Structure 1
Amino acid sequence: MNVEQQRLIDPQWKKWGPYVSDRQWGTVREDYSEDTNTWESVSYDMARSYAYRWGEDGIAGISDNHQLLCFAFSFWNKKDPFLKERFFGLTGPRGNHGEDVKEHYYYLDSAPSHSYMKMLYKYPHNAFPYDELYRGNDARDRVEPEYELVDTGIFDDGNYFDIFIEYAKAGPHDILIKASVVNRGSRAASLSVLPTLWFRNTWSWGYDDYRPTIAADSSNAMYINHRRMGDYYLYSNGKCDMLFCENDTNQRRFQGKRGIPLVAKDGINDFIVNRKRGVLNKQKNGTRAALHYNLYVNPGETVTIQLRLSKEAHDYPFHDYDAIFWQRMGENEAFYNDLQRGVKDPDDRSIQRQAYAGMLWSKQYYYYNVEQWLHGDPKKPAPQNRSWGRNHDWPHLSNADIISMPDKWEYPWYAAWDLAFHCIPLAVLDPGFAKNQLSLLTREWYMHPNGQFPAYEWNLSDVNPPVHAWATWRVYEIDKNRNGGKGDIAFLEGVYHKLLLNFTWWVNRKDHDGNNIFQGGFLGLDNIGVFDRSAPLPGGGHIEQSDGTSWMAMYCLNLLRISLELATHNHVYADMATKFFEHFIYIARAMNLIGEKDIKLWDEEDQFYYDVLKKPDGTEMKLRVRSMVGLIPLFAVEVIDHSLFEQIPEFVQRLEWFLKHKSSYATVVKDWAEMLAGSKKHMLSLIREDRLVAMLQKVLDETEFLSDYGIRALSKHHHEKPFSIDVDGNRFSVNYLPAESDSSMFGGNSNWRGPIWFPLNYLLIESLQRYHYYYGDKLKVEFPTGSGNFLTLDQVADELSQRLLRIFRKDTSGKRPVYGDYQLLQDDPQFRDYLLFYEYFHGDNGRGVGASHQTGWTGLVAKLLHPRN
């Protein structure tokens, strides 16, 4: 066990981490408007003057795990109209494809305990092009891509600063901080660097007026005191000025109030940029403070700022500074050298390392007490519409935890199914954290009393695919393999019991006709369908969903597998295993052999699964959209070794009874006589071998789903032949869109009508591996379809993995497909090897699209680079 792995055992080492959001403005939590206009309630321009209620944001920010005390960097190039205190981006309504961050920053490294962290921010010498970015995106429609910061040419001449920010912990409460400013331009340039320390505002809401203190302790030190945290000190090395204000809203700016103190959150900004007087605390204390370094950096020069934030008082805070930094960096290298033992290619190691860094930097303190939010605070009443509006039926939810975010700027709130995917690569880095995350969502202050998991803050009642059980089992397996075959049964059992409640919620709420065919709404696939599946359908009725039903079949198999594992430790769980076995069979039969009067989800002519629209008059209509919706049945597969059956005789006895008395059900999926005929492996699957081969013909067809970069969410078949349907005089259609969406059905930055998405590609790869484990080399399919080249399913899975990895790897010309036609990002040595992990990818050329820092589920690329476990 290396030093970093040892640290993961001690929770104190995670007391401090990158828990500050990249964007707190424009979130539901901070919206106190009567019209629920979240994006305008607190805007980017307001953020520097507005004290947040529920969290904090900043550049390269860190905080304690309760986010009482925060630290981040601010910058000023002497030309911008205000300090760069947080990353800029467009709101959902202003972006031509929804919200979009317009900055260049990269998470480069992090140890799992955050004992060492590194990131890079690129800040222009010239005035940041705020207005140009607004105008450029306003001028573009939905057919065009976003107008990005790199499109403005602001970096073309090299006139920018590379600002490398690093943290190294001397101990759990002793943090060394370094900012290395590099001038990449050909001329000297000035830069203000403002390391900023502040307390989250807990005193303005009417519960407790206690104000903690930051005060000058000497010319190079600040004294920090909070009654819950005790004493801390911030030490600076080098010439700087200390500036103090209060982390309070500037009421004069927003309400025009006279005669009130001007020492507000934006005091430091107004003093530096606008040269105002009377905006700082003359007493050299407050709840917000900054050190002002006024730098002059020559071309190619690097200027370094050194700080130390410590719970201990130090007479000589920098005497061991360099030694500690080198030690932590060395320990971090040792950790990753152990982790990447099977990854030989240097570029692959860099891709994986940066993916892991993005995942670890994307942790955030997430605070949302819905009951308080609904009713408002004594000093800040809530709008009247809250009593019947958004999230009003989740008053029990009270979140105040460190949670893995999809993207701390674009999605600075957890999403249930995103989080499940995050936990797979996180389990390789830090199994304890991954297990904690999965357990967290099942806790009674998260999970609804009715059994539903919270979706995300914009609508906690929305429905995400039920992948929590899959993630729980996979994390258990990864951790068990890491521990030499010893699994964490307590974790598995604890989550399992809550999953039973969630499974029951699905059965009771999402089976409209009680026939084991499920709905669920959009199920995370946004605008993949011809209709908004989460809204009332035109003309009424409901959709029998191929994906909803398949997710539930997969859910059954996940719970069956967990039940069997638990039954090897406690035979009480054998009965639960039989329950989920039988429930799976009922779903499989319903999905494949609904009565003759009903339209089946399986289409014999097309050899594909489709949704079925059931209208109020009883008529039915098959929605022949060849999409990922029809591929999700492939995910419902489990292979169980016979040796496991032998450990659980009660389960085998029930199978014997079922085969005898319910044989008409069992034969829907497979000849279950094999189950007890001495076979060494037993497969449960929605899809028989003939249908599997037929479906894979489309999946692996380059004119349909197969791209050079993975599996598309919608068949390219719909480029030439869009699907359209008339309902009550209105025409609806779906056509292939390889990248940006032209539909506003679910907002502008999501598109499932053609691009490549990592999570479902990952599930498909795992499913193919399970099919191969059962069929072995005897089953081969054509890859690509029509090529005459036949591969085993295991080989197909490997080929798909390689295509996904191709997005980030350099091609034969040295280009990375993820960066498309951006010459600067492809060729410039200061850009080309820094990676962004986008939300999804162009279905034809692999270009990154959507949120640019979504190492959340795109972080699965790191797991693809590991040997299997």
Structure 2
Amino acid sequence: MTRATANDRRSRRQDSSLSAEQCRLDEDRSKTTNWRSWGPYVSERSWGTVREDYSSDGNAWDFLTHDHARSKAYRWGEDGLAGICDRYQLLVFALAFWNGRDPILKERLFGVVPQQNNHGEDVREYYYYLDASPTGSYLKYLYKYPQSAFPYEQLVRESQRRGIEQPEFELLDTGVFDEDRYFDIFVEYAKADPEDICVRVEVFNRSSDPASLHVLPHLWFRNTWNWGDVPQPPPEIYDTQDPEGQACFVADDSAATPIPNLLTQYELGKRYLYAESGGKPLFTNNETNRQRLYGCSDHTSYVKDAFHRHVINGESCVNPDNVGTKACVHYDNVTVPACESVVFRLRLTDRPTSDAIGGVDAVIDQRKSETDTFYDELHPPKASEDERRVQRQALAGMIWSKQFYYFDVNKWLEGDDSRAKPPTSRHHIRNEHWKHLNSMRILSMPDKWEYPWFAAWDLAFQCIPLALVDPEFAKEQLWLLLFEQFQHPNGQIPAYEWEFSDLNPPVHAWAIWRVYNMDRIQNGRADREFLEKCFHKLLLNFTWWVNKVDAEGHNVFEGGFLGLDNITTFDRSTPPGDGSSLKQADATGWMGMYCLNLMRIALELAKENKTYVGLAIKFFEHYVYIGSAMKNMGGRNYELWSEEDGFFFDALCYPDGSYHRFRLHSLVSLIPLYAVERLEEVWTSEFPEFQANLQWFMRNRSHLTEACLATSENANGKVHLLSLVDADQLRRIVAVLWDDSEFLSPYGLRSLSKHHQQHPFTFGDQTVKYDPAESTTWLKGGNSNWRGPIWCPTSFLMIESLRKLAKVYGDSIQVPAEPGDDRESLTLSEVAEGHANRLISLFTRDAEGRRAIYGRREKMQHDPHWRDCLLFHEYFNAETGEGLGANHQTGWTGLVASLIDEWRR
């Protein structure tokens, strides 16, 4: 971020004419008003998740399937289409639809699980997060619903038939969108105030013939009353007569038992849902249909799937007394004229409101206009109209992907009801050592369908674009994983729900330092309290890493798969059985980066408390030991750096002292470049003790510092570059980074060199070959795709490292330009810019109007109702740019919003 950017933003924050949305953010920050009390905190999928799995074998996908989901009450959180809920998800509002042909009432998204698909689990629906303000004062969502029968069986059957080398079978491939025979359903939310939410649902018929649709806005209470030894009194929803002729439901939790384990008692009080006339109220209970699922009698005559059975099958299974814990308004068989739309308006509020529906459009239009103003101020001045669209939708996806994450691991392991204990085997499947983890938090998710749970390194990256629009929320997210109910007592940060004990790369300190500075620049003040409390917990985490993954105490680390799944020949999470150990270039590089992050944080805190200088010295020295060890492996006769190849490689070390170096050109070899920092003596002079120790180390431990510290001069004086590569090594690596036969693809940084397409790497009977798209080799289940595709987070860190290195080396390090480039050579800054532009170009239209992310999908490329509805995939085909994997992975792929912000100033 440039100084001009910092000044521009600071002046905006201090300007009395702040935008309406910025004022709401300020009110939230000062806690004068809670604009976030309601939001899009509802998962897109709760079926098939770890939390809902009470099986004996840990197969979550089989225990609670999509088919069971409509009939079984969830224990840990709800799902729905375009759902919103309150802070603790007591009450949920979402939409449901039926086209008259679908065999299932469309209440939630469908997808295939790993055993049904040739490339791992994947959603098979088209939905889009089109817009959002950071407080959720305005939200816009699009769902595309076919007018023919939804092809559930065809999707599963064909996906199972296809081999691993074939592309996935998508919903568009079934033909259900041919001749535009589908509905575009736009859902908008706008808050008149924090507890008064206006809703507008507009259904467009894109076909040339009239078509009918059933629209069922749902309101229900999460089942909090039926899980212990003794059922608790439930809340209720009932119908009331509105004098204006509008439908009106009252949701009342006054008789229910409040949520336990909160510091203060939380109750909603009465809520009123108003709906336009013309719909029929339906009522049931959010209770499991035991008869359907288990063949035993139900506790109540009215169960969760009643609306499905009533609408689809015509059964008399809804409560005629118009009371229950789940309700909907059924707009029955509404005809939508050809190429036109119909609109449904609702209002969910905390107080009786006369003519509630009459004010809906005005509130929505106003909040939409205010959101336009907010983003107009945010977009960088050099961004094109299309880049602004990309940035805004990327950020909308980040905001929509917030989720109420409820999980008490001890309760999950032990069970709620002493009369029905979970099988004892579950204690040996996953997360037995995480009984302290207890969450009722709003968390940023990588994806609310495929990954409806937090992941540690995903969340760290997600906070960078989130900090552009909402630094307070970004800071809160980073702190939560360090909070006592998340971070393990031994210091480990939980990795992800499937197995909290797995190891994700240690990027939390990097994200905290970066978000701290983004917040400081935007708001003109430094939040030292946030930085300090995080630093204390990071010290515990760093100690855990050192004790856990540096088994021999040589400052060379092991670490396991570290999020890179199948990047090497075998699963690095599984220790070799012959007594050998894998010394990892990426793990050691990550730890070098971790040391430098903690050193910088300590120096920042030392500005106000000189005690932290000692910790800055400690982390500087630890970094030096790591840097030296990478070149000398603790005094042994081999290194992770190969002078012959000009690369870092993993080394498999055997008990007899022999070793095997994995000469594999992959991200593993590049990650050591992430460990880079510069220290200018003009500002380190503020810390004479630190400067004296640095000078002592350079004089008396030169055999260590020469491997990872270089000193140069600039206009301000001496600059010390802390980097795991020297200038000559950097030249060799960057030349490969900008080589289209190696790591440089038309769209960014390959995760594995293209060199291995013609020259596969072999170890034993295992082979690693360049796969630019979905991998043909799985090591850690589906979606193991690190043998070629482009990934935004690792690319983002490389761009950042090149920019830092450029500030020291300037034009002295250059690489040959590509053929066709007018320039003969490129500087480090230009290489960084080139990688950034290529990543951005994944999403923007090219000269022919095509977006690389949509590949062969011609409807998405050219249809005006599809081409500007953007998806942010998990990873990308390195040759074509086509988006792959989870298609709403706006978590770390949302970093494109930050790239646009930083490279279009």
TM-score range, shorter chain: over 0.9
Which residue of structure 2 lines up, in the alignment, with residue 409 of structure 1?
Answer: 449
1:595 Cα deviation (Å)? 5.8
The 5 Å alignment of 1:787-826 reads 789-826=824-861
> Could you list the per-position Cα deviations for residues 830-863 of structure 1 after superposition, in whole angstroms to 9, with x for gaps in the alignment?
1111111000000111000100000100000011
Question: 3-state DSSP class of the match of 1:198?
Answer: strand
Counterpart-to-counterpart distance in 2, 1:2 and 1:215: 39
Rounded Cα–Cα distance in structure 1 between residues aligned with 2:710 and 2:221: 65
Q: Distance in 2 between matches of 1:455 and 1:719?
A: 32
Residue from 106, 122, 133 that aligns with 2:144 = 122
Match of 1:223 among 225, 228, 250: 250
Deviation string 1:35-84 (CA, Å, 9 cap, x unpaired) is 22110100000000000000010000000010110110000001011101
Partners of 2:607 and 2:819 in 1: CA distance? 43
Q: 1:83-122 alignment to 2 at 5 Å?
A: 83-122=105-144
Range with bigger deviation, 339-348 or 142-151: 339-348
Q: Which moved more, 1:552-561 or 1:224-233?
A: 224-233
User: Equivalents in 2 of 1:265, 1:259: separation in Å?
Assistant: 11
State the secondary structure of the residue aligned to 1:221: strand
Contact between 2:290 and 2:298, CA under 8 Å: does it hold in 1?
no
The residue number in structure 1 matching 2:188 is: 166
What is the DSSP-based 3-state SS (H/G/I as helix, E as strand, rest coil) of the residue aligned with 1:194?
Answer: strand
More displaced stretch, 619-628 vs 548-557: 619-628
Other-structure match for 2:462: 422
Note closer, same or farther for the CA distance 1:124–1:377 as it changes in structure 2 (3 Å cut).
Answer: same
Equivalent residue for 1:647, pick from 659, 670, 686 = 686
Pairs within 5 Å for 1:462-501: 462-484=502-524, 486-501=525-540
Cα distance in 1 for residues equivalent to 2:592 and 2:667 = 16
- Are 2:795 and 1:761 equivalent residues in the alignment? yes
Aligned length, in residue pairs: 862
Matches within 5 A, 1:35-114: 35-114=57-136
* d(CA) in 2 for partners of 1:639, 1:785: 33
- CA deviations over 1:516-545 (Å, ceiling 9, x no partner): 000110000111011100013254422100
**Counterpart residue type for residue 251 of structure 2:** I
Relative to structure 2, which stretch is displaced further, 219-228 or 112-121?
219-228
Distance 2:693 2:548 in 1: 28
2:481 paired residue number: 441
- Give the conservation status (yes or no) of the 8 Å contact 1:842–1:848: yes
Aligned-residue offset at 1:663:
2.1
TM-score by length of 1: 0.97
Match of 2:291 in 1: 252
Q: Which amino acid aligns with 2:816?
A: E
Q: 1:85 is paired with a residue of what secondary structure?
A: coil
| Deviations, residues 772-793 of structure 1 (Å, cap 9, x unaligned) | 1111233322234997721121
CA contact (8 A) 1:104 1:121 kept: yes
Contact 1:156 1:824 in 2 (8 A): no
Counterpart residue type for residue 728 of structure 2: D
Task: Kindly report which structure 2 residues correspond to 1:345-356, keeping only aligned pairs within 5 A, or say none.
Answer: 345-356=384-395
Give 1:641 shift: 2.9
Q: After superposition, where does 1:736-747 map in structure 2 within 5 Å?
A: 736-747=770-781
* Partner of residue 701, structure 1: 739
Distance 2:234 2:312 in 1: 27
Q: Please tell me whether the aligned partners of residues 124 and 161 of structure 1 are also in contact (alpha carbons under 8 angstroms).
A: yes
Is 1:395 the counterpart of 2:430? The answer is no
Mapped to 1, the partners of 2:150 and 2:91 lie a distance apart of: 29
Structure 1: how far apart are the matches of 2:368 and 2:399? Answer: 16
| Deviations 1:403-436 (CA, angstroms, capped at 9, x unpaired) | 0000100100000000000000000010000000
Alignment gaps of 5+ in structure 2: 1-17, 29-33, 255-266
Aligned to 2:375: 336
Candidates 575, 588, 591, aligned match of 1:536: 575
For residue 646 of structure 1, report the CA deviation from its aligned partner.
Answer: 1.6
CA deviations 1:112-136 (Å, max 9, x no partner) are 0000000110000000111110111
Secondary structure of residue in 1 paired with 2:313: coil
> 1:619 offset after TM fit, Å?
2.2
Residues 495, 501 of structure 2: 8 Å contact kept: yes
- Partner of 2:592 in structure 1? 553
Offset at residue 664 of structure 1 (A): 1.7
Q: Deviation at 1:708?
A: 0.5
Counterpart of 1:213 in structure 2 is: 236
Contact (CA 8 Å) 1:700, 1:785: kept in 2 or not?
no
Alpha-carbon contact 2:55-2:426 (below 8 Å) kept: no
Contact 2:710-2:726 at 8 Å conserved across structures: no
> What's the CA shift for 1:386?
2.4
TM-score (structure 2 length as normaliser): 0.93
**In 2, Cα distance between equivalents of 1:649 and 1:785:** 50
Aligned twin of 1:780: 814
Deviations 1:569-600 (A, max 9, x none): 11111111100000000000000123674321
Which residue of 417, 425, 436 maps to 1:385?
A: 425
Once the two structures are TM-superposed, the CA of residue 326 in structure 1 deviates from its matched residue by 1.5
Name the CA shift for 1:786/1:828 in 2 (closer, same or farther; >3 Å).
closer
566-575 or 447-456, which deviates more: 566-575
2:405 match: secondary structure? strand
The amino acid across from 1:475 in the alignment is V
1:186 to partner: Cα distance: 1.3
- Structure 1 equivalent of residue 12 of structure 2: none
The aligned residue for residue 701 of structure 2 is 662
1:631 to 666, 670, 674: 670
Which of 567, 575, 580 is 2:619 aligned to?
Answer: 580
Structure 2 match to 1:455? 495
The residue that corresponds to 1:14 in the other structure is 36
Specify the code of the residue in structure 1 equivalent to 2:421.
Answer: P
Instruction: Name the stretch that deviates more: 834-843 or 639-648.
Output: 639-648
Of 769-778 and 43-52, deviating more is 769-778
Q: Distance in 2 between matches of 1:707 and 1:40?
A: 39
How big is the shift at 1:671?
Answer: 4.3
Residue 306 of structure 1 aligns to a residue whose secondary structure is: strand
State the AA in 2 paired with 1:293.
Y
CA distance in 2, matches of 1:785, 1:507: 45
Task: Name the residue aligned to 2:768.
Answer: 734
CA distance in 2 between partners of 1:319 and 1:334 (Å): 25
Distance in 2 (alpha carbons) for counterparts of 1:706 and 1:341: 27
CA 578–498 in structure 1, closer or farther in 2 if over 3 Å, else same: same
Question: How big is each residue's C-alpha offset from its partner over 1:262-292, in whole Å with a ceiling of 9 and x where there is no partner?
Answer: 3100011111111111x21121010011110
Asked if the contact 2:602–2:613 (Cα under 8 Å) also holds between the matched residues in 1, the reply is yes
Query: For residues 269 and 176 of structure 2, what CA distance do their matches in structure 1 show?
Result: 45
Q: Is the 8 A contact 1:243 1:289 kept in 2?
A: yes
Measure how far apart 1:682 and its partner are.
2.4
Provide the C-alpha distance between the structure 2 equivalents of 1:616 and 1:153, rounded to a whole number of angstroms. Answer: 59
Whether contact under 8 Å (1:838, 1:853) holds in the other structure is yes
* Deviates further, 388-397 or 855-864: 388-397
> What is the match of residue 842 of structure 1?
877
Please give the alpha-carbon distance, in whole angstroms, between the structure 2 residues aligned to 1:639 and 1:262. Answer: 69
The offset of 1:342, in angstroms, is 2.1
Are 1:605 and 2:622 counterparts? Answer: no
Residue in structure 2 matching 1:718, options 748, 751, 756: 756
On the 8 A contact 2:251/2:270 being kept in 1, the answer is yes
CA distance in 1, matches of 2:356, 2:680: 59
AA aligned to 1:504 is T
- Give the counterpart letter for 2:22 in structure 1: Q
Q: Which residue, out of 849, 864, 868, partners 2:899?
A: 864
- 2: CA distance, partners of 1:242 / 1:321: 21
Match of 1:2 in 2: 19
- Structure 1 residues 22 and 677: alpha-carbon distance in aligned structure 2, compared to 1, 3 A threshold: closer
Alpha-carbon separation, structure 1, partners of 2:375 and 2:280:
39
The DSSP-based 3-state class of the residue aligned with 1:192 is strand
1:237 touches 1:307 (CA, 8 Å); kept in 2? yes
Q: CA deviation at 1:743?
A: 1.6
